[in-house]
Amino acid sequence: MANKKDFVKEITARDDDFAKWYTDTVLKAGMADYSPVRGAMIILPYGYQIWENIKQEFDGMLKKTGHEDMTMPLLIPESLLVKESELIKGFAPEVAWVTQGGTEKLQERLAIRPTSEVLFSDYYARAVHSYRDLPLKYNQWVSVMRWEKTTRPFLRTSEFYWQEGHTVHATAQESHDETLSVLDMYEKVINQFLAIPTLKGQKTESEKFAGAYQTFTLESMMADGRALQSATSHDFNDKFAKAFNIKYLDNKGKQQYAYQTSWGLSTRIIGGLIMVHGDDRGLKLPPRVAPTQVVIIPIAPNEEVLQAATEIMTDLQADVRVSMDQSDKKPGWKFNEYEMRGVPVRLEIGPRDLKQQQVVLVRRDTGEKIVTPIADVHTKVNELLEEIQANLYQMAKDHLDANIFTATDMTEFKKQLGNHRGFVKAMWCGDPKCEAAIHSETKATARCLPFKQEQLSDKCVYCGKPAKKLVIWAQAY
Amino acid sequence: MANKKDFVKEITARDDDFAKWYTDTVLKAGMADYSPVRGAMIILPYGYQIWENIKQEFDGMLKKTGHEDMTMPLLIPESLLVKESELIKGFAPEVAWVTQGGTEKLQERLAIRPTSEVLFSDYYARAVHSYRDLPLKYNQWVSVMRWEKTTRPFLRTSEFYWQEGHTVHATAQESHDETLSVLDMYEKVINQFLAIPTLKGQKTESEKFAGAYQTFTLESMMADGRALQSATSHDFNDKFAKAFNIKYLDNKGKQQYAYQTSWGLSTRIIGGLIMVHGDDRGLKLPPRVAPTQVVIIPIAPNEEVLQAATEIMTDLQADVRVSMDQSDKKPGWKFNEYEMRGVPVRLEIGPRDLKQQQVVLVRRDTGEKIVTPIADVHTKVNELLEEIQANLYQMAKDHLDANIFTATDMTEFKKQLGNHRGFVKAMWCGDPKCEAAIHSETKATARCLPFKQEQLSDKCVYCGKPAKKLVIWAQAY
Ligand SMILES: [Zn+2]
Ligand SMILES: [Zn+2]
């Protein structure tokens, strides 16, 4: 451990201070930096490339399912924002207001979008006339603004990047199905691409999105046992249609209200990526999302070594994101640097290796060193990348499974959360008062009513009245 | 002509009212729509896909030349924005100000970025220490805000999308070279991808970017003879480095100021794309940027026809962006619709065609109908797409060449601009007073000092004093 710390002096150990470890990692790995604007961060190329990779993956899925990218304005007139009363109640305390445009004091304040339901609803009210116009499945990749008091890079910033999908359908069944089918796509990206396991469920009334009819969520567990809401999908039913008068003529010539959804995945997930996989050496990136999958480090390189290394790189480039560090820094420095940056595989090659026509492959996830004949490198690298992807998921899944506890009374509940942060499964009567009381006594919030319901007991963990639902509780980011 | 108008009733003829033709085309083709926010537009999927195609093409070129995507905050504190005095003088009248964040009245106003030089400079001042840190070549794809009184979709909106590149270098030579090499990349995208010919040159002192040392530009000519500034690239030399104290230790251990550039290509170019190529039937999109390159329209389709059409589509999909319209609308309606949307090639197939194992290909640029055996369709389509791309460029180039005039005195100058809008080449003494006088008398501005200089006469077209430079003049969007 002393040795380990020695290598990565600049990063606080996770056990010493998890929050500081997180910030150190973000800054030292060059993912983001602070900015002169309170609550806003600079996303540096290494962090942004991760976001671009996520974007490309998910946008491809969206396009395959008939969703179309487009873009709505950044600013929303106050009169439009207040049109759906629950939405504005939820967002009013977080809105940044533009009051001056050029030399002119504005007659009406304009909000920087905290989310764009009202803009889409206003457009749909104008664009939707007949059942033939439906569904419209639109999406935009933009930044939004929610004024935050305390901020942490990626996890909580006033400005963050996301995609927000907004769809409009003919029936309640269709908007319900769309909400769940998008949740499945999120699950796929988060589990398979980011190697983060998730629990799927519905939000309680108090935790659902302002203005939604139902909110569904994917919850993941960070290395410290706290929860991160990783993506949400909202069914509005006809609530916004009624506020904005979005109607269409059905195939019998009758006026009907339309049914809407919205759903979002944000740069917060990069915070999750860091906190699920990272260790005391820094980042550990799943190969599928890693900007660099393999870094080649020539050791004491002569001309032949450099030539061999370049040939290997050229060969790998066909299907691997590979780079080579030829700088005059010491190998030990480079090892630490790329471990900190979470590069999944390091490839070392020196004169002795070359003589034996071999290289050393080093896994970031396990530290294992694998001596590999040069002729087999390409195959072996692809194998390793798949193994690392699977292993990172499995390790996270084991951690999640090992840290879900059950409680049938509040003594047990508090003991579990006190002993080891993690998730607690417990039965609930459905009364928001019990939910609020649990929160105030434990700081845990109802993360979701999981789709996989269980009957742990027949009594509410808080009040002892008949239980209706299993709830997953956790302290959350 | 009557017949033509009949087909596209909804679009005003170009000769009747070019401005109205433009707006009609944008709206009817579903590229953009107005929004409830003054000066901001909704970019609809068809317009946004064009922007995404441009983005993908140019971003690929940027990455190949070592530029990295990242992102700076949306908001800029006033104290930072005013740090470079020329920049703020140029932008102050156009800035939208945030004065309220959540429930809190802000102590300092925050500007929505009109452009981000100050944010990059502030970051570079913190990130650049040694010559080893240089160059940094960063880019971001974002929207910016400049408060506009009058607006037109794509051409002039308060909010518009662009990429803004910001680089920092060790020497004046390097920043100069970067500025020009990016201008060459813009030229390539605009000429070869968008099929828009351009004139390349330097801006005059009065027309250059606020705060720049030198601004270079690509100017293109719209169908109505007016100019559109299509992309600009700015060399700041060490002006921002001095304002923001961006210094580095050179390889002799001496403190040096750094040298910067910035450059941008925006959604305005989509306005250019429409106005350069469009006709009275609507859009005409160059194949390389067209969201749909080929639309298949089955005529009086029976099952065999639909099957053949589907097979052709599947075959084309390998390397062509192709779609099929199977709706129950009439063929004539569909022909007009996809002509209006500028789809380069229409493929018609009906029972009689199928019997003869052939289809009809129709070119959007010339209207030519080409009967083609089904076996040859794929090859022929690819040939046609290349021909159309080349032909659209050539037609635009011919129009540009035919509408550049020369003038050696102001009588001639005014006559030329009065007879036929277009560009006027004329000599200039270099005095901004002559430049201003020409503008006020003709509404034309100095578009650029073209790199290809000529000696039309030895006297300034306005004052008759010795001429220093050839200038290209035009009324501009
Ligand atoms: Zn209860
Ligand atoms: Zn003069």
User: Cα separation of A169 and A303, whole Å?
Assistant: 64
Chain B residues with CB inside 8 Å of A74's CB? 40, 74, 112, 143, 145, 159
Question: Do the Cβ atoms of B102 and A96 come within 8 Å?
Answer: yes
Burial tier of B470 (Cβ tally within 10 Å: 0-12, 13-18, 19+): buried
Residue whose structure tokens are 């008939």: A66
Residue whose structure tokens are 């944008």: B26
Distance in Å, alpha carbon of A212 to nearest chain B alpha carbon: 22
Distance of CA B404 from the midpoint of ligand 2 (Å): 21
Chain B residues with CB inside 8 Å of A37's CB? 73, 75-77, 110
Residue whose structure tokens are 């992102």: B71
Residue whose structure tokens are 């060790």: B170
Tens-place pLDDT, residues A321-355: 999 999 999 999 999 999 999 999 999 999 999 99
Chain B residues with CB inside 8 Å of A29's CB? none
Distance of CA A462 from the midpoint of ligand 1 (Å): 5
Kind plus residue range of the DSSP H or E element containing A405:
strand A404-406
Chain centroid, CA B472 distance in Å: 19
Q: What is the ipTM score, two decimals? A: 0.95
User: Cα separation of B44 and B29, whole Å?
Assistant: 10
Quote the Cα angle for A314-A319-A321, to 5°: 75
Task: Tell me how crowded residue B291 is: count the other CB atoms within 10 A of its CB.
Answer: 18
- Kindly write down the DSSP assignment for every residue of A142-187, as one continuous string: EEEE---SS-BTTTB-SEEEEEEEEEEESSHHHHHHHHHHHHHHHH
Please provide residue B423's backbone torsions phi and psi, each rounded to the nearest 5 degrees.
Answer: -100, 145
- Catalogue the E-assigned strands of B66-185: 68-69, 75-77, 96-101, 104-112, 136-145, 159-169
**Identity of the amino acid at A367:** G
Nearest neighbour of A71 by CB, restricted to B43, B93, B123: B43
Give me the pLDDT at residue A366, please: 98
Give me the pLDDT at residue A9, please: 65
Whether residue B431 has pLDDT greater than 90: yes
Find the closest chain A residue to B143 by CA distance.
A74
Nearest neighbour of B73 by CB, restricted to A40, A72, A100: A40
Please provide residue B468's backbone torsions phi and psi, each rounded to the nearest 5 degrees.
Answer: -105, -35
- Catalogue the E-assigned strands of B222-312: 227-237, 247-249, 255-257, 259-266, 294-298
Nearest neighbour of A48 by CB, restricted to B42, B71, B80: B71
Tens-place pLDDT, residues A30-48: 999 999 888 899 999 999 9
Whether residue B71 has pLDDT greater than 50: yes
Domains with residue ranges and CATH for chain B: 4-74+85-95+113-277 (3.30.930.10), 294-399 (3.40.50.800), 404-474 (3.30.110.30)
Distance of CA A389 from the midpoint of ligand 2 (Å): 69
- Walking along chain A (477 residues) 10 residues at a time, the average pLDDT comes out as 50 94 96 91 98 98 98 96 90 94 93 97 97 97 91 94 98 98 98 98 97 97 97 98 97 97 98 98 98 97 96 98 95 96 98 97 98 98 98 98 97 89 96 98 97 97 98 97
- Band (pLDDT 50/70/90 cuts) for residue B17 is very high
Whether residue B3 has pLDDT greater than 50: no
Task: Tell me how crowded residue A401 is: count the other CB atoms within 10 A of its CB.
Answer: 10
Whole-Å CA distances, A189 to A54, A186, A193, A293, B6: 8, 5, 5, 18, 50
Chain B residues with CB inside 8 Å of A127's CB? 33
Nearest neighbour of A76 by CB, restricted to B37, B68, B95: B37
Burial tier of B206 (Cβ tally within 10 Å: 0-12, 13-18, 19+): exposed
In a mutational test of the B interface, the residue from A42, A80, A151, A317 whose CB has the highest number of chain B CBs within 10 Å is A42
Give me the pLDDT at residue A5, please: 44
